[in-house]
Structure formats: structure tokens, C-alpha cells
Amino acid sequence: MKIDFVSDVACPWCAVGLNALEQALAAVGRDGIHVDLLFQPFELNPQMPPEGEDADEHLARKYRSTPEQRTAARANLRQRGAEVGFNFGTRSRVWNTFDAHRLLHWAGLQADGGSAQRALKHALLQAYHGDGRNPGAREVLIEVAAAVGLDATRTAAILDSDEFAADVRASEAHWHQLGINSVPSVIVNDRHLIQGGQPAEVFERVLREIAAKPDKSAAEAAA
């Protein structure tokens, strides 16, 4: 079974959804269901400047939310995060995440079965949503990449160039063309879509249902 996890480092519900999905994967894995998990790029704020924007101002402008609504939403997010083992900290600004996606793309090219990409994704979500750090800052990205075992010198070289920029943009365009407009979006075997930061039991139920009914081949599906 292949799962594409389309998400943005800037998305708090992606942290909730990933942890819940991994709980589900652990459960189905005990029954011999093997899953390849791939992380795909999506930018909630592709035009965000490098200096970022105040989080409250950004949310108020983008979603027309009131202070009371934002307070309630954060409380709900903290509760849902705690349920899946993710502790949200204070995020005072919204940042550009394009360079983070370039590093995630590079990490996905490592010959390690996806472990580096997965570790980097978790570390970036923790850096931003847990620790309130800028996931677009060069020094933060180098530190985080090195902490999960990626080469710091190679990381710096990527950040100081436009390497993998075209790959990330092409991937983002691909998912947009398929109708993905919100994250997290979980696509199973290129056919089944699960959207939002669902509870672990929802992910588990759907994954078991898909595993019990093998997909048709691409040729059969197109016939």
C-alpha cells in the first residue's frame, strides 16, 4: 500500500494528522499490512515573504476570524494534538516554507526507505509548531536536518542554490491539478482520498477497508 501525505510544514493540522496516521499505521502493521509513506509538498502561503507575518494578523485577514474564534480553535488544536502525542507551543508568526519542502524532497531521494524524509518532516513540524522556530530560516533548516542525520554541508549547499526548486513546484502543480486544495490530504494507492487531521481510528478503519479490497490495475480502472 502506498500513501502520499500531502501537507505543509506551516499547517498545524498536518502535525495532528501525521501523528494520528502513524498510530493507525502501527496498528495495521501488526496485521502484516505494509505501507510506503511518501511526503508531498503543498504551500498554504506560497507568497509569504521571508520575514513572515504576525500569526494573529494573518489568521484574521485570511479567515476573517475573531480573537475568540482563534482562541477556541487553538484550544481545540492543543487538545487534538495531545491526543496523538504532539504538544503545541506558541507560534507567533507564519513563515515561508518553500526551502523546507526543497529539503524534504532531497531527503526523500535518500536510499533509506523514506526514513530520513519522515524524520525530517517530524523535526520540521516540531521546530515550528512545538518550538515556535522559523522553518524557513537557513540556520534552523541546517540544524534540523543535521539533527536527523542529514549532511549539514550538503544541506547548506542546497539552501544556497535553487536545487530541487523545479521539482517541488512541479509536484505542487501535480497535486493542485488533481484537485488537492487543502491539507493534510492523504492519498492511498493513487485512488483513495482522506482529508483533514482525522482521528487515528478513522485512518485505521479506512486503511483496513482498502487493504481488504485490492485496487484494480490502472488499465482496469481506466477501462
Output the CA angle 30-15-5, nearest 5 degrees. Answer: 65
Q: Does pLDDT of 216 surpass 60?
A: no
Mean pLDDT, to the nearest integer, of 29-45? 96
Average the pLDDT over 80-106 and give the result. Answer: 97
Per DSSP, the three-state class of 3 is strand
Amino acid at 149: G
The proportion of the chain whose per-residue pLDDT surpasses 90, expressed as a percent, equals 95
Q: CA–CA separation, 194 vs 185, rounded Å?
A: 6
Residue 222: its pLDDT value, please? 31
217 pLDDT above the threshold of 50: no
Q: What does the pLDDT read at residue 186?
A: 98
* pLDDT, tens digit, 9 for 90 and up, residues 105-147: 999 999 999 999 999 999 999 999 999 999 999 999 999 999 9
In the CATH scheme, what is the code of domain 2-222? 3.40.30.10
Instruction: Give residue 83's identity as a one-letter amino acid code.
Output: E
Distance between first and last Cα of the chain: 22
Q: Counting beta carbons within 10 angstroms of the beta carbon of residue 198, is it exposed (0 to 12), middle (13 to 18) or buried (19 or more)? A: buried
Read off the pLDDT of each residue in 16-43 and give the average, rounded to a whole number. Answer: 97
Mean pLDDT for the stretch of residues 25-50: 96
CB-CB neighbours of 75 under 10 Å = 10
What is the mean predicted confidence (pLDDT) over 171-199?
A: 97
**Stretch (H or E) spanning 39:** strand 36-41
Residue 220 pLDDT level (bands cut at 50, 70, 90): very low
79 in helix, strand or coil? helix
Residue 213 confidence (pLDDT) = 86
Give the residue extent of every domain in the chain.
2-222
The answer on pLDDT for 215 being more than 80 is no
**Residue 115 has what pLDDT?**
97
Burial 13-50 (b: 16+ CB within 10 A, else e): bbbbbbbbbbbbbebbeeeeeebebebbbbbbbeebee
